[in-house]
Structure 1
């Protein structure tokens, strides 16, 4: 099987989406061959064997918007946009947010084409799990219709859904952004107690310029007011989980005379190492470049915080070297920081 997308990959914080390969047949059979998976897929038979998987691959070779979902090199599912959005995920991978994460990446790519139409999708009435994923992706219910399921050899009621370009743009535009696991919105004075709790510990505060440890709630409230959303560079947004709990902050400095602004971020210490910052900034940075005519974005981190450098490189920033950083609330003297920059031209070349 040949595929003109052999060299194309879509990377997310936890996943890599790529073209399907002949070597994927065993994993496809194992995943789709599970009746608990196939019973939710209208066109898929059960039992499902290697010949079915091979036909599946030959069909996909002719479709430009079909992706294998992989994690740590292993195939765990598939996602496609043909006349609608569809996906499957191996049962062992359910409940981890992978379908939502892959969906955001694939839909971003779809609507990057200005001529791409609105998307449709749907699910069987009794597949509430899939309905939850599609709602997180912004799809809205438009009606019902019966649909035949080959694996169950019967017709079942299904719910139809639509995602418009306008709704997607709204979800991915400042100051309200939606990611697979988080929502960003302007901070308010009511966020001060929670924000001071998250940011006011030494492990977080030492990597910021203006936050002390501990961080008095009144100071946090003033800090929020100083960074309120003003429809121009120089603001901070709260990062919330999908339950509405504030878990961090993403911000943009005012632009300098050269049209360069700096990004900053932090999340609650208990959530470090889960890819949340990468996920959030992969939505935040494109939204910033769309909203403001900036030449570039800068970022830096203390040289003793290499994990932040890993995030910045994943986001496409180039390392420019070390320099002396600003004096901070927790560091009495300026210390070396690693300086990074993402030029608009480099960002746009990656799209």
Structure 2
């Protein structure tokens, strides 16, 4: 008999996760200024979402995405100063026991291993508490730095999808990388 997992309950009990440098926690309207700082930046938003031109765009995004359905969605807060510098989410497909990770980070904090640190914590949650069999992420082939984050998470390339979607009026090719529970266990053997 297969074990039944209440994914919503597990995610609800794990809305606050801590790493050495970071607090992963729900995004609230109080984060609007911090989020607007990077959501209004064309370079940061290029591969992720439409640029926010007004603080109201950011508030609407927070209300419609993070507050409306908060489970598995986290603000990335620096413990040292309480600043919210990005977001990361774990989108669970309960039927197939897999999840997709997505993330964005204020460019002032790129290159510091922050997304990899947050991502490892979500992958650990996925495998150790949600009993997932695979976690994956995808990135626009024109954004190889996002793929480097996935490499740091132990993800391996699984495929390339040419003409996967239209993104901001451009045909985008996606690269998919993933990690299985077995790969995760092998990486974390003592």
Q: TM-score range by the shorter chain?
A: 0.7 to 0.9
Give the SS at the match of 1:308. Answer: helix
**Total equivalences in the alignment:** 173
1:186·1:229 contact (CA, 8 Å) conserved in 2?
no
- Corresponding residue to 2:23 among 183, 189, 193: 183
Whether 2:61 is the aligned partner of 1:223: answer: yes
- The two structures, once aligned, show a CA RMSD in angstroms of 2.3
Give the SS at the match of 1:203. Answer: helix
Match of 2:47 in 1: 207
Q: Distance in 1 between matches of 2:47 and 2:175?
A: 12
Match of 2:85 in 1: 247
Q: Distance in 2 between matches of 1:216 and 1:334?
A: 27
Q: Distance in 2 between matches of 1:230 and 1:340?
A: 26
Name the larger-Rg structure.
Answer: 1
Deviation at 1:339, TM superposition (A): 0.9
Q: Distance in 1 between matches of 2:35 and 2:147?
A: 24
Q: 1:215 to 1:262 in 2, by over 3 A?
A: farther
Deviation at 1:229, TM superposition (A): 8.6
1:197·1:215 contact (CA, 8 Å) conserved in 2?
no
Residue deviations 1:92-132 (CA, integer Å, cap 9, x gap): xxxxxxxxxxxxxxxxxxxxxxxxxxxxxxxxxxxxxxxxx
Which stretch of the first structure deviates more once superposed, 275-284 or 240-249? 275-284
Q: Distance in 1 between matches of 2:158 and 2:42?
A: 27
Give the SS at the match of 1:192. Answer: helix
Q: What's the TM-score once normalised by structure 2's chain length?
A: 0.80
Which one has more relative contact order, counting CA pairs under 8 Å at least 6 apart?
2
Residue deviations 1:118-164 (CA, integer Å, cap 9, x gap): xxxxxxxxxxxxxxxxxxxxxxxxxxxxxxxxxxxxxxxxxxxxxxx
Name stretches of at least 5 consecutive residues in structure 2 with no aligned partner.
Answer: 1-12
Whether 2:147 is the aligned partner of 1:309: answer: yes
Deviation at 1:249, TM superposition (A): 0.7
Residue deviations 1:266-316 (CA, integer Å, cap 9, x gap): 211111111211222222220232332322111011112112212211211
Match of 1:340 in 2: 177
Whether 2:134 is the aligned partner of 1:296: answer: yes
Residue deviations 1:205-242 (CA, integer Å, cap 9, x gap): 1121xx2113543332333232349685xx32111112
Q: 1:289 to 1:230 in 2, by over 3 A?
A: farther
- Corresponding residue to 2:111 among 251, 267, 273: 273
Name stretches of at least 5 consecutive residues in structure 1 with no aligned partner.
Answer: 1-172
Q: What's the TM-score once normalised by structure 1's chain length?
A: 0.45
